[in-house]
Chain A
Amino acid sequence: MKTKITGRVWKYGDDVNTDVIFPGKYTYSITNPEEMAQHALEDLDPTFVEQVRPGDIIVAGKNWGCGSSREQAVVCLKELGVGAIVARSFARIYFRNAINYALPIVSCDAVDGVAAGQEITIDFERGVVATSAGTYTFEPMPPEVMGILEAGGLIPYVRKQLGIVDAL
């Protein structure tokens, strides 16, 4: 995991739910991550899939990812190369799903100081998000959670834990 990332901002509001991140009607008909990616945020912002670039950062208000436990709402963004999600707060299952897919997430109020299209930098070691309007600090993850992120997600973490070392 990189300790510092810089990316272009996509800015969204409060309570963005998993149905608009990845619609429920596709949850059992689309199984390929590349195809999932084509539907990311389609009921919220149809321009996102057309214009997102690897390394872009989503910055949002409170309770990002509320609703269904569907992991596709993380996978579709990960597949598009989203570098991180910075939100005022996260719904708890989304939080765990993001960790389990090693998609970095940061809880702070950066949404107050950014506009769409601006560049921001996240420093995971120092716990700081730097924006043109100032800096926002965040609590580092507990060590148990960092371990999963550093392993590259929960499946590689569990393989390590169980002593399984053969290639996937």
Chain B
Amino acid sequence: MGYTFAEKVLAHKSGLAHVKAGQIVVVKPDKLLTHDNTAAISQKFKQVGVQKVADPMMHVVVLDHVVPAANATYATNHKIIREFVAEQGIPAFYDIGEGICHQVLPEKGHAWPGAVIVGSDSHTTTHGAFGAFAAGIGRTEAAAIMATGTIWLRVPESLKIIVEGKLPDRVAPKDLILYIIGLLRADGADYCSVEFTGSTIREMSVAGRMVLSNMAAEMGAKNAVVEADAVTRAWLKGRVQHAYEEVHADPDAVYARVVTVDAYDILPQVAQPHTVDNVAPITDVAGTKIDQALIGTCTNGRLEDLAAAANILRGKHIAKGVRLLVLPASRAILLQAMEQGVIRDLVQAGATLLNPGCGPCLGAHEGCMAPGEVTISTANRNFKGRMGSKEAAIYLGSPATVAASALKGMIADPREVA
């Protein structure tokens, strides 16, 4: 009887011949990701009573949540973090402007197949797109890892999602994962290790795979892996400077559940207020008036996302009364999008370009909503109150759907615009 991806990675990392779902193991993570919450974590770390972090090379610290600082409180938070990384000799520190942690971490070579990555952010699952075991944790837990270098993990049960066929035109990985979340619901993968596989996934770009792994957090996944292949290796070449050993699930591994999805059938999907699993096909929600549209975030702020929006908006202008916010996920993506004319197309169409970072996704700055307003966003969460007023509404869709909606001033089907 074979083993799942999670069982194989966690057995290897805990020094055991094999482990089974349900077992608790202690592992030394390869990377610990923290962001603007590093200040609070560093204070927790100091409460433990040790002076130096167990392994400075384990840390990846990215300032992204409220950048540049919106006021003196945020500025003080950033200052504490800069002092902490200097004092602890942490080399992998990325200050404001580099981008969102889930984009910067792989871009800078800190994710690779078979790695164990934990991060004090629920969307740490994103790094499963590189064949890593990547899970979100809390602040106290991150502080404990700083002190001990280790974490306990329960070996998760595994859920295999097989996607076959070609996605239709203007139907994106975002539509696929929204469809899957609508099917499995917000707790459909609770505690599970999700393994995405099938021809659709194998054909998908790294950017697309990151959308799936990122959004798997919204159905409760502990980690969400895409098996490493030639696409992964090509992307990591030149970024990861050391050798790594890929981990692949055994063909006869045992899964708690296997779900099969046919990509041909999928229409553009939209998550309606106020839960991510409240998913409907675009045809059910088209015509809903919007005030704001957002393209960016750790879910959909990559070059192919910005390009998909630019393809719809090039030479046109967004509807009167609509605000379109664009946030590339990293400095590297911003540069590429500038070189390719994508930024020019979007700004000429009426977009407001914001700096790489999380922006208004968590409702702290740069485009929050007033009571009664509606945003359609490429982000991963639409919870009540998340982008400002609790009387506001958030719809989630693909970059093409958001761009088409900005153009029309109402939620629109991207297949119906030129």
Which residues of A pack against B, CB within 8 Å?
A: 15, 17, 19-20, 23-25, 27-29, 31, 43-44, 62-63, 66-71, 74, 89, 91-93, 96-97, 100-101, 142, 144-145, 153-155, 158-159, 161-162, 164, 166, 168
Q: Scan residues 195-224 of chain B and give those whose CB is less than 8 A from a CB of chain A.
A: 218, 220, 222
Q: Scan residues 62-105 of chain B and give those whose CB is less than 8 A from a CB of chain A.
A: 65-66, 71, 73-74, 77
CA gap between A101 and B140 in the complex, in Å: 8
CA gap between A91 and B189 in the complex, in Å: 10
CA gap between A158 and B90 in the complex, in Å: 22
- Would you give the shortest CB distance from B384 to chain A, in whole angstroms? 5
Size class of the contact patch on chain B? 35 or more
CA gap between A19 and B362 in the complex, in Å: 9
Residues of A within 8 A of B413 (CB): none
Say yes or no: A28-B77 contact (C-beta < 8 A), given A19-B384, A69-B122.
yes
Give the residue name and chain of the B residue nearest to A157 (CB).
Answer: B144
CA gap between A166 and B187 in the complex, in Å: 42
Contact A159 B140, beta carbon cutoff 8 Å: no
Apart from A20-B385, A71-B138, A144-B24, list 7 A-B contacts with CB within 8 A: A17-B383, A28-B37, A43-B384, A68-B122, A68-B381, A142-B24, A158-B144
Residue of A66, A70, A71, A92 touching B186 (CB-CB under 8 A): A66
Say yes or no: A92-B191 contact (C-beta < 8 A), given A27-B364, A155-B44, A155-B47.
yes
The 4 closest A-B pairs by CB, nearest first: A63-B187, A19-B383, A24-B362, A97-B138
Contact B383 A89, beta carbon cutoff 8 Å: no
Residues of A within 8 A of B152 (CB): 144
CA gap between A140 and B363 in the complex, in Å: 38
- Would you give the shortest CB distance from B144 to chain A, in whole angstroms? 5
Residue of B120, B140, B187, B364 touching A24 (CB-CB under 8 A): B364
CA gap between A63 and B47 in the complex, in Å: 31
Contact B141 A15, beta carbon cutoff 8 Å: no
Residue B139 interfacial (CB < 8 Å): yes
Residue B305 interfacial (CB < 8 Å): no
Residues of B within 8 A of A92 (CB): 190-191, 220, 222
Residues of B within 8 A of A44 (CB): 384
Residue B40 interfacial (CB < 8 Å): yes
CA gap between A100 and B390 in the complex, in Å: 29
Give the residue name and chain of the B residue nearest to A153 (CB).
Answer: B140
Residue of B122, B383, B390 touching A93 (CB-CB under 8 A): B122
Contact A96 B137, beta carbon cutoff 8 Å: yes
CA gap between A62 and B186 in the complex, in Å: 10
Contact B136 A69, beta carbon cutoff 8 Å: yes
Give the residue name and chain of the B residue nearest to A44 (CB).
Answer: B384
Q: Could you mark each residue 339-381 of chain B with 1 if its beta carbon is under 8 Å from any beta carbon of chain A, else 0?
A: 0000000000000000000000011100010000000000001
Q: Could you mark each residue 32-64 of chain B with 1 if its beta carbon is under 8 Å from any beta carbon of chain A, else 0?
A: 000011001000100111100000000000000
CA gap between A27 and B38 in the complex, in Å: 12
Which of B44, B65, B186: most chain A CB closer than 10 A? B186
Residue of B24, B36, B147 touching A158 (CB-CB under 8 A): B147
CA gap between A29 and B220 in the complex, in Å: 27
Contact B122 A28, beta carbon cutoff 8 Å: no
Contact A154 B141, beta carbon cutoff 8 Å: yes
Contact B144 A66, beta carbon cutoff 8 Å: no
CA gap between A23 and B363 in the complex, in Å: 9
Say yes or no: A27-B362 contact (C-beta < 8 A), given A43-B390, A69-B136.
yes
Residue B107 interfacial (CB < 8 Å): no
CA gap between A57 and B381 in the complex, in Å: 28
Say yes or no: A28-B66 contact (C-beta < 8 A), given A96-B137, A101-B140, A155-B143.
yes
Residue B386 interfacial (CB < 8 Å): yes
Residues of A within 8 A of B74 (CB): 28-29
Contact B385 A23, beta carbon cutoff 8 Å: yes
CA gap between A9 and B368 in the complex, in Å: 35
CA gap between A25 and B218 in the complex, in Å: 19
> Could you give 22 example pairs across A and B, Cβ below 8 Å?
A20-B383, A20-B385, A23-B363, A24-B362, A25-B385, A27-B37, A27-B364, A28-B66, A28-B74, A63-B220, A69-B137, A70-B138, A91-B187, A92-B190, A92-B222, A100-B140, A154-B141, A155-B143, A158-B147, A158-B148, A159-B49, A168-B47
Say yes or no: A25-B144 contact (C-beta < 8 A), given A43-B390, A93-B122, A162-B50.
no
Residue of A20, A25, A155 touching B384 (CB-CB under 8 A): A20
CA gap between A24 and B37 in the complex, in Å: 12
Contact B147 A162, beta carbon cutoff 8 Å: yes
Give the residue name and chain of the A residue nearest to B65 (CB).
Answer: A28
Contact B49 A166, beta carbon cutoff 8 Å: yes
- Would you give the shortest CB distance from B50 to chain A, in whole angstroms? 7
Residue B275 interfacial (CB < 8 Å): yes
CA gap between A92 and B223 in the complex, in Å: 11
CA gap between A19 and B143 in the complex, in Å: 23
Residue of A15, A17, A20, A25 touching B362 (CB-CB under 8 A): A25
Residues of A within 8 A of B291 (CB): none
Give the residue name and chain of the A residue nearest to B36 (CB).
Answer: A28
Contact A25 B363, beta carbon cutoff 8 Å: yes
Contact A155 B364, beta carbon cutoff 8 Å: no
Give the residue name and chain of the A residue nearest to B140 (CB).
Answer: A100
- Would you give the shortest CB distance from A162 to chain B, in whole angstroms? 7
Residues of B within 8 A of A43 (CB): 384-385, 390
